[in-house]
């Protein structure tokens, strides 16, 4: 059962959780990454045997395996997957940005050149489960952005295969290369490259603590999207809410992971009790009830005095998923400053965002929505500033630039302008003579 917190105890106790990582995990990840960097494919085969209990003949997924996957899935599932793909694609096309230039001042051209990253690696969790939705969410924005090559790694199953649904999702999303590699070793392989795995420029996608720590370790040698932690949901509900809907959404996140953070905020004691009862009822026949119960028992609910007080708690938490389950949710939306993804009303179930509607489900966790955002097309761009000056435009501002540079005691910076102006003036005087 969710534990009740007062407003103050929620702010001071529940939200003051530690996110430090065990030192042994850090050292293990560092060792794996260095081993893969040095020994390449040999290290990948070794760790796949060690952690996934599979002796692979090849790290690459073949065309035959992908064709077999298409033949193995149902037409109904494939149709749903293609519709989800279309929704995700159309949503992310709205994020496209163009290069721009202006000519605000005579003789000066300024602008930005926006280019897609050349090679991107996507990590898809696997092994004991299948996550084709994560393929769509990471690969489709890359394709929309214009990324030239998309490399995917995912752990193999016990028989050495990749789940059929994952392969189909990769194919319809435009993934170019697929490798049967998981964990920290996969992140290292995409960072440094091996005989089989292509070296990429940026790595995106969710994973376990080893994957997250590997991304932290290799950052700088490669770009990363974010350092994601356990899943989170916060639901705000009032007396217009349906307790069964709210309970189902809380459990949807709780079944992810025993560490998933589940928070329920309401201005109604009646709804608070009804939601808690529904949670207990729905837990009974949930296949992953042991996982969900552990998460729920660590969860929290708070009864607030006002909407403004609720907004304060939500913004302090900065949840990965926020549901505003009230009749007029748009009236509340302007009060929210920090949230990864926001679901409005009684019928925008969080599952829509996970699978189908188009918004991305790779989201900031642990309060990092205060300074970071959901995965988007923008994560697959680089932006270069562009500047052009004529000699006349440089002369017009030269005294001011020189003054600013000398105020910072950077004489070389000042000289870079002075030498151009002096040379032009010398040439001009010679021409006059």
CATH number at 338 reads 3.40.50.1980
| Number of domains into which the chain is organized | 3
Q: Using CA of residue 25, residue 29, residue 35, residue 40, what is the dihedral sign?
A: positive
List the chain residues with pLDDT less than 50.
429-433
Same domain, 13 and 29: no
Q: What is the pLDDT of residue 20?
A: 67
Q: In terms of Cα–Cα distance, which of 287, 206, 297 is closest to 250?
A: 297
Same domain, 156 and 51: yes
> Among the three residues 382, 402, 423, which one is the final residue of a domain in this structure?
382
Give, to the nearest 10 degrees, the angle between helix 411-432 and helix 391-407.
150
Same domain, 15 and 56: no
Same domain, 234 and 190: no
In a domain, 110, yes or no: yes
3-state secondary structure of 36: helix
Strands in 300-303's sheet, in edge-to-edge order, are: 3-5, 300-303, 261-266, 232-237, 321-325, 341-344
Query: What are the φ and ψ backbone dihedral angles of 285, each rounded to 5 degrees?
Result: -115, 20
Residue 134 Cα distances to 43, 122, 364, angstroms: 26, 9, 15
Tokens coding 423:
């040379």
What is the H or E stretch that residue 313 is in? helix 307-317
Same domain, 88 and 129: yes
Q: How far apart (Å, rounded) are the C-alpha atoms in residues 78 and 19? A: 39
What is the H or E stretch that residue 274 is in? helix 269-283
Same domain, 297 and 399: no
Active site residues: 320-321
Q: How far apart (Å, rounded) are the C-alpha atoms in residues 413 and 427? A: 22
In a domain, 156, yes or no: yes
Q: What is the pLDDT of residue 142?
A: 98
202-204 vs 223-224, strand pairing mode: parallel
For residues 342 and 333, is the Cβ–Cβ distance under 8 A? Answer: yes
**What's the predicted TM-score (pTM) here?**
0.93
In a domain, 365, yes or no: no
Q: How far apart (Å, rounded) are the C-alpha atoms in residues 419 and 314? A: 56
Q: How far apart (Å, rounded) are the C-alpha atoms in residues 127 and 51? A: 10
Same domain, 199 and 329: no
Same domain, 143 and 291: no
In a domain, 372, yes or no: no
Give, to the nearest 10 degrees, the angle between helix 23-39 and helix 41-52.
140
Measured at the alpha carbon of residue 193, what is the angle toward residues 187 and 198, in degrees to the nearest 5?
95
In a domain, 94, yes or no: yes
Same domain, 163 and 32: yes
Residues for the chain: how many in total? 433
Domain of 260? 3-19+229-350
Q: What is the pLDDT of residue 433?
A: 40
Name residues whose C-beta falls within 8 Å of residue 113's C-beta, 6 or more positions apart in sequence.
Answer: 99, 383, 384, 386
Same domain, 278 and 244: yes
**How does pLDDT run across 337-386, given as a tens digit for each residue?**
999 999 999 999 999 999 999 999 999 999 999 999 999 999 999 999 99
Same domain, 206 and 78: yes
Q: How far apart (Å, rounded) are the C-alpha atoms in residues 277 and 56? A: 48
In a domain, 360, yes or no: no
Q: How far apart (Å, rounded) are the C-alpha atoms in residues 427 and 425? A: 5
Q: What is the pLDDT of residue 228?
A: 87
In a domain, 358, yes or no: no
In a domain, 371, yes or no: no
Classify residue 60 by its DSSP letter: B
Same domain, 63 and 208: yes
Query: What are the φ and ψ backbone dihedral angles of 108, each rounded to 5 degrees?
Result: -125, 130
């Amino acid at each position: 059962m969710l534990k009740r917190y007062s407003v103050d105890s929620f702010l001071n106790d529940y939200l003051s959780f530690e996110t430090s990582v065990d030192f042994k995990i850090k050292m293990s990840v560092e060792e794996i990454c260095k081993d893969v960097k040095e020994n390449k494919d040999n290290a990948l085969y070794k760790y796949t045997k060690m952690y996934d209990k599979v002796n692979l003949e090849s790290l690459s997924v073949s065309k035959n395996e992908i064709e077999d996957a298409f033949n193995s899935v149902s037409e109904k599932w494939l149709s749903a997957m293609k519709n989800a793909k279309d929704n995700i694609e159309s949503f992310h096309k709205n994020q496209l940005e163009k290069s721009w230039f202006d000519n605000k001042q005579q003789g000066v051209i300024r602008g930005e050149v926006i280019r897609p990253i050349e090679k991107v690696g996507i990590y898809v969790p696997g092994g004991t489960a299948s996550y084709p939705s994560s393929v769509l969410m990471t690969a489709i924005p890359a394709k929309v952005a214009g990324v030239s090559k998309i490399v995917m790694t995912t752990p193999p199953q016990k028989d050495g295969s990749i789940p059929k649904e994952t392969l189909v999702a990769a194919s319809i999303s435009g993934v170019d290369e697929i490798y049967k590699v998981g964990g920290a070793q996969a992140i290292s392989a995409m960072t440094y490259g091996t005989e089989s795995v292509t070296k990429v420029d940026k790595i995106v996608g969710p994973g376990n603590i080893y994957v997250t720590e590997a991304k932290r370790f290799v950052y700088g040698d490669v770009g990363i999207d974010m350092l994601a932690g356990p899943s989170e949901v916060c639901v705000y509900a009032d007396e217009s809410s349906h307790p069964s809907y709210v309970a189902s959404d809380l459990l949807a996140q709780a079944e992810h992971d025993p560490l998933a953070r589940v928070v329920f905020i309401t201005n109604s004691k009646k709804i608070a009790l009804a939601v808690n009862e529904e949670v207990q009822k729905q837990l009974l026949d949930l296949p992953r009830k042991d996982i969900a119960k552990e998460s729920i028992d660590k969860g929290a609910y708070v009864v607030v005095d006002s909407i403004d007080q609720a907004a304060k708690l939500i913004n302090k938490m900065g949840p990965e998923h926020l549901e505003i389950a009230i009749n007029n949710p748009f009236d509340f939306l302007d009060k929210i400053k920090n949230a990864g993804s926001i679901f409005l009303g009684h019928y925008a179930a969080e599952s829509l965002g996970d699978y189908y509607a188009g918004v991305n489900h790779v989201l900031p966790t642990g309060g990092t929505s205060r300074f970071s955002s959901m995965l988007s097309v923008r994560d697959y761009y680089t932006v270069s500033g562009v500047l052009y000056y004529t000699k006349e435009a440089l002369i017009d501002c030269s005294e001011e630039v020189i003054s600013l540079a000398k105020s910072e005691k950077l004489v070389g910076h000042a000289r870079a302008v002075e030498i151009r102006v002096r040379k032009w003036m010398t040439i001009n005087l010679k021409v006059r003579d």
